[in-house]
Amino acid sequence: MKINRLNELTARQWIKFQKSWFIHNPPPRQRGVLRHPAKFPETLAQEFIEFFTKPGQVVLDPMAGTGSSLVAALTCGRHSYGIELNAAYADIARQVLAEERIKLGDKAIGLTAEVITANAANFPNLAGAYHLPVSDYVITSPPYWDMLHARGAQTQKKRRTDPELDVFYSDDPEDLGNESNYETFILRLSSIYASLQPFLRSGAYLTIVVKNVKKGGKIYPLAWDLARALTATYTLKDEKIWCQDDIRLAPYGMGNAWVSNTFHHYCLQFRNV
């Protein structure tokens, strides 16, 4: 029998994960994390973490938001570190992690789940200042360019009626979600991910969940442009397509032009080799 060096899944679980697309409809979000306008589902993050790591290894999310990746890592027995620029979201993440520790009880003893309020663009300095260990896996979902600023976004229309919910991440110019120039956005984002490379274990995987975006009547291939930019640093191994089938269809362009309802994301798999 071959030794499984990557994870502790069964052969059946391994083969199931190898499917190039999957449907994942996350459970309803709890009120405490609703403030974040584009939360990443813990249940999805856990599936990836359990495939790409073993218990006790270290997971990193350089754009942690309200801590979905860290919660998932804690739940399945991994250490985790997250970097988050927005102090309010970082505080929410710490609270959510504290609550998860209580739920897990003895299972969480000895596990690190640390949220650092800082700019991931400074990761090399942060790694030294906070004595961060080498990571075994990175899973993250960046801003989808500045699309949260698009007033036509259906999800944003709903959020504008509730003053307790954020429509976009912040007003901070360092926030990538506020970068209006697409080429500059790709450069800044890819530079952050490339800067992680010296702090990743050789052979470690990096999963970036992202989607192509529509703006001004055209599509910007964000996932593909990011993949191309990062091939100078990592090996692009594969992609998994996350499909959502629980979102109501909207009649975009009906009777006039083709405009799809985009209910899929790309989970890009890179490897540090």
pLDDT at 170 over 90: no
* pLDDT over threshold 80, residue 272: yes
Phi, psi dihedral angles at 22 (to 5 degrees): -155, 155
Predicted confidence band of residue 125 (pLDDT cuts 50, 70, 90): very high
pLDDT tens-digit map of 225-269: 999 999 999 999 999 999 998 888 989 889 998 889 999 999 999
Contact 140, 210 (CB under 8 A): no
If pLDDT is split at 50, 70 and 90, which confidence band does 41 have? confident
Q: What pLDDT digit, counting tens, does each position of 174-210 carry?
A: 889 899 999 999 999 999 999 999 999 999 999 999 9
Asked whether the CA dihedral 84, 86, 91, 97 is positive or negative, the reply is negative
* pLDDT band at 135; cut points 50, 70, 90: very high
Mean pLDDT across 141-169: 65
Q: Where does the pLDDT of residue 39 fall: very low under 50, low under 70, confident under 90, or very high at 90 and above? A: low
Ordered structural domains, the chain, with CATH:
38-271 (3.40.50.150)
Q: What is the pLDDT of residue 68?
A: 94
The stretch 34-40 carries a mean pLDDT of: 53
| Residue 267 confidence (pLDDT) | 97
Give me the residue label for tokens 């964000």: 222
Instruction: Output the pLDDT for position 92.
Output: 93
- Please check the confidence at residue 67 and state whether its pLDDT lies above 50: yes
Residue 64: its pLDDT value, please? 95
> Which residues, other chains included, contact 217 with Cβ-Cβ below 8 Å and sequence gap of 6+?
none
Asked if residues 114 and 80 have their Cβ atoms less than 8 Å apart, the reply is: yes
Residue 123's pLDDT band, with cuts at 50, 70 and 90, is very high
Confidence of residue 98 (pLDDT cuts 50, 70, 90): very high
Work out the angle at residue 128's Cα, subtended by the Cα atoms of residues 56 and 89, and round it to the nearest 5 degrees: 70
Mean pLDDT of 128-145: 96
Instruction: For the chain, give the percent of residues with pLDDT over 90.
Output: 73
Residue 82 has φ and ψ, to the nearest 5°, of -135, 140
* Residue 109 token pair: 């003893």
Cα dist from 237 to 1, 19, 131, 163, 252, whole Å? 25, 14, 30, 42, 34
What's the predicted TM-score (pTM) here? 0.90
Mean pLDDT, rounded, of the chain? 89
User: What's residue 82's pLDDT?
Assistant: 98
Compute the distance between CA of residue 15 and CA of residue 30 in angstroms, rounded to an integer: 32
> H/E/C letters for each residue in the chain?
CCCCCCCCCCHHHHHHHCCCEEECCCCCCCHHHCCCCCCCCHHHHHHHHHHHCCCCCEEEECCCCCCHHHHHHHHCCCEEEEEECCHHHHHHHHHHHHHHHHHHHHHHCCCCEEEEECCHHHHHHHHHHCCCCCEEEEEECCCCCCHHHCCCCHHHHHHCCCCCCCCCCCCCCCCHHHCCCHHHHHHHHHHHHHHCHHHEEEEEEEEEEECCEEECCEEECHHHHHHHHHCCCCEEEEEEEEECCCCCCCCCCCCCCCCCCCCEEEEEEEECC
Q: Which of 34-48, 60-74, 136-150, 185-199 has the lowest mean pLDDT?
A: 34-48
What is the token pair recorded at 140? 């993250």
Strands 235-243 and 264-271, sheet pairing:
antiparallel
Residue 156 scores a pLDDT above 90:
no
Give the mean pLDDT of 65-91.
96
Q: Are 67 and 101 contacting, i.e. CB atoms less than 8 angstroms apart?
A: no
Q: What is the C-alpha to C-alpha distance for residues 143 and 147, in angstroms, rounded to an integer?
A: 8
pLDDT, residue 36, reads: 43
Could you tell me the pLDDT band of residue 34, with boundaries at 50, 70 and 90?
very low
